[in-house]
Structure 1
Amino acid sequence: MPANPSTTQDAYLEFTRHQWAALRDAVPLPLSQGELEKLKGINEDISLQEVETVYLPLSRLLNLYVYANQRRGKVVEEFLGKKPENGPYIISVAGSVAVGKSTTARLLQALLQRWPEHPKVELVTTDGFLYPLEELTKRQLLSKKGFPQSYDGKMLLDFVKDIKSGKEEVKAPIYSHLEYDRLKDRQHIIRKPDILILEGLNVLQTAHDYPDSGNRLFVSDFVDFSIYVDAHHDLLKRWYIERFNSFRNGAFADPNSYFHHYSKLSESESSKTASKIWDDINGPNLVNNIQPTRSRANLILTKGEDHYVDRVWMRR
C-alpha cells in the first residue's frame, strides 16, 4: 500500500498502533476470549489485545459520532416542533475479499451494542443482494460475481432508503455461502435499529464509478460513517489462498456445498485453483472496482502480517 491512502495531500490523519491505542481512553473491554472466538473469521488470529488496541478506540470514536448525530436530531426536533422520523446511524465496512471485513463488522456490532446509548445494532452484508445464481447465469455474470454488475443495485438501494427513512420493518435477503446463492425461503427482518452496519465490497461506490448514472442515488449517499479495511495485494492473495484451503478441508467437504468438488483436490491443486480464481476474478475486481473507492472512506484500517492493523488513517 502507498504511504498515503489518498490522492489528496493531508486528507487523512495517520496513526501508528501505539498512537491509536492511546485513544481508547479507559473504555473497558466487554468481550471474553470465548466471545471473540465466535466472531473471528477463517485464518484470522485476532487477539483480545488487537481488540483493545484497534477496535475499542474505534468503537469510542463511533459512539461519539452517533451521539453527535442524536443531538443533531434533537435540534431538528426543536426547530420543527415535532420529532422527525429518524432512521439508524449507518456504518459501512468495505474492502477486498479475504481482508477480514466480516470480522471487523462483527466486532463493531459486538462492541457498539454494549454502549448504553444505542443497544440495538444490526449487521447486514451486501452478499444477499447479489443476483440469484439463475439470474447470474442468464446474464452471463457467474465469472463476474462480486463485480458491481452482479448485484441487484435497485434492491440494495431500496433497502437502505427504507432503513434510513425509519420504516418500522425492512427485510433483507440472506446469502448462503454453502449454496453460493441467495436463500429463497429466509429473510433478515430489521426493526428500527439504532445503528446499522452494512458490510460489503460495493458500499463505497458512487456516481463516479458509473459515469452514465446521471443523478441517481447510491448506497454511499445514505452512509453516515465509512470504514475501508486494507492490506497489500500480495497479502490479500495469500490470505485468500489460505482461506480457500481451509474451506477445502471444512465447508467444501459438505456434500451440499456448491464447491464440494474442490474438496477432492490435493493441497497443491487447491492452492493453484485458488491462485487462478484470485488472478482472474478477485484481483481484477479489487484493482478496478474496490480499491478506487478507498480514498472516500472516513477511516482506513491498514493490515500487515497476521491480519494485525499496523496503521489507521482518519479523514480530517
Structure 2
Amino acid sequence: MTVNKPIHKTLYHSFGRKQWSELRNSVPLTLSEDELARLQGMNEQLSLDEVTDIYLPLSRLLNLIIDAQQQRSVVLDQFLNHKPRNSPYIISISGSVAVGKSTTARILQALLQRWPQHPKVELVTTDGFLYPLAELKAKNLLKRKGFPESYDMKMLIDFISAIKAGQPHVNAPLYSHITYDRLTDQVQPINQPDILIIEGLNVLQTGLDQSPESRSSFLSDYVDFSIYVDADEVLLKEWYQQRFRKFRQGAFSDPKSFFHHYSNLSDQQANQTAANIWDTINGPNLQSNIKPSRERAHLILKKGDNHLVNRVLLRK
C-alpha cells in the first residue's frame, strides 16, 4: 500500500479538536437528533458532539467569509456602476470514496441554510456528471469509473459556469446508485441559490493536472472555498469494506441493482470482493488523482477512528 504523503503544515493553521471547537463562539446548535439521523451516511455514527465541535465552527467561519465576499461584491458593483448579480458562493467538498464527503456536505447544507444571510443552500454531487453507463462501456471506462476521464467535463463546466453567472433554472443531472447510471427521466432544478455546495471525488483538480496543449476551464476555477475530507488509506479501505457489506444487505438486494449479483456473497467473499475493488480501482484513483489535490483545499478535515475528525487544517 502506498504510504500517505504528509501534509505541508507550514501552509496551514493546524487545530486539534478542542482548539477548533472553541472557535464555535456560542453559535447555537440548530439540528435535532432526528434531523442528524437523516443526514448521516450509511456507515457513520455521527453524534451531535461531532456537529457541535467540528461543523458549527466551520459553518461560522464560512458565514463570516461569505458575508465579507458579499460586502466586497456590493462595493465593487457600486464602483463599476454594475447591477448586482445573483452569483452564488460555491463550496466544493472532495475526498476519497468512503471518507464521508456526502455526510459532510449534507450537514453543512443544513447548518448554512439556518443563517439568515443565505437561507437558500443547494447541494449537487458530481455523480450525475459521470458518462452514462452505455457510454462508459463503449469507451472501455467501466473499471475507471470515478477517475477524471469518466466524467462529462463539458457538461459539468457548462453547468457550474451557468450557476456562477447567476442564471435561473439550471438543471443538474441525477444519478442512481441502484442502476449505477445517470437518470434519464429526472433532473435537479437549481434556481439562483445563495450558496451551492458541490461534492465529488475530483472537484479539486485544476488545469495543472492537464497537459499544456489540452488545458481548459476546470471546476475548481469556479469554486470560492474548497474542503478536503481526509483519512489514512488503511481506514478508508476498512470503511469501504464495511459499507460494501451493508450495501450487500441493502441496496444490492434490490433486483434492479447493478450489483445485485453481490447480494448473496458471504461475509468473507464480500470482504475479498470489496478489497479487490479497492486495490484495483478506488485505491489507485485516490493515489493518482484525489490525494495529490488535497493541498489545494482551503480547509482539510482529518479523520481518525470511527469517522471522527481529530484535526482541522485551515490554509494560511
TM-score, normalised via structure 1 length: 0.97
Q: Spell out structure 1 runs of 4+ moving beyond 6 A.
A: none
Partner of 1:5: 7
> Offset of 1:5 from its aligned partner?
1.6
Distance 2:94 2:208 in 1: 17
Distance 2:42 2:13 in 1: 31
Local SS of the residue matching 2:271: helix
Distance 1:113 1:303 in 2: 25
Distance 1:271 1:304 in 2: 21
Structure 1 residue 163 and structure 2 residue 160: aligned?
no
Distance 2:283 2:6 in 1: 21
Partner of 1:66: 66
Partner of 1:54: 54
Structure 1 residue 16 and structure 2 residue 20: aligned?
no
Partners of 1:76 and 1:84 within 8 A in 2: no
Structure 1 residue 88 and structure 2 residue 58: aligned?
no
Partner of 2:130: 130
Amino acid at match of 1:232: D
Cα deviation, 1:21-73, whole Å, max 9, x if unaligned, reads: 00000000000000000001011011000000000000000001110111011
Partners of 1:207 and 1:213 within 8 A in 2: no
> Offset of 1:169 from its aligned partner?
1.4
Distance 1:249 1:276 in 2: 19
Distance 1:280 1:180 in 2: 18
Partner of 2:270: 270
Amino acid at match of 2:149: Q
> Offset of 1:80 from its aligned partner?
2.1
Amino acid at match of 2:236: L
Distance 1:58 1:2 in 2: 25
Partner of 1:107: 107
Q: How many residue pairs get matched? A: 314
Distance 2:305 2:145 in 1: 28
Distance 1:190 1:90 in 2: 13
Distance 1:226 1:5 in 2: 16
Partner of 1:117: 117
Change (3 A) 1:242 1:213: farther
Local SS of the residue matching 1:264: coil
Partners of 1:178 and 1:257 within 8 A in 2: yes
Partners of 1:231 and 1:303 within 8 A in 2: yes
Cα deviation, 1:213-252, whole Å, max 9, x if unaligned, reads: 5451110000000000000000000000000000001111
Amino acid at match of 2:7: P
Structure 1 unmatched ranges of 5 or more: none
Distance 2:50 2:44 in 1: 11
Distance 2:79 2:195 in 1: 24
Partner of 1:291: 291
Partners of 1:303 and 1:311 within 8 A in 2: yes
Distance 2:278 2:193 in 1: 36
Distance 2:38 2:224 in 1: 28
Distance 2:156 2:193 in 1: 18
Local SS of the residue matching 1:10: helix
Q: CA RMSD in A?
A: 1.2
Cα deviation, 1:65-121, whole Å, max 9, x if unaligned, reads: 110111011111211223232310000000000000000000000000000000000
Distance 2:313 2:7 in 1: 8
Amino acid at match of 1:260: H
> Offset of 1:211 from its aligned partner?
1.9
Distance 1:282 1:71 in 2: 42
Distance 2:97 2:176 in 1: 16
Distance 1:174 1:133 in 2: 13
Distance 2:220 2:306 in 1: 30
Cα deviation, 1:168-209, whole Å, max 9, x if unaligned, reads: 111110000011000001000100000000000011000111
Distance 2:302 2:126 in 1: 22
Distance 1:58 1:15 in 2: 12
Partner of 1:179: 179
Partner of 1:242: 242
Amino acid at match of 2:173: P
Cα deviation, 1:104-161, whole Å, max 9, x if unaligned, reads: 0000000000000000000000000000000000000000000000000010011000
Partners of 2:4 and 2:233 within 8 A in 1: no
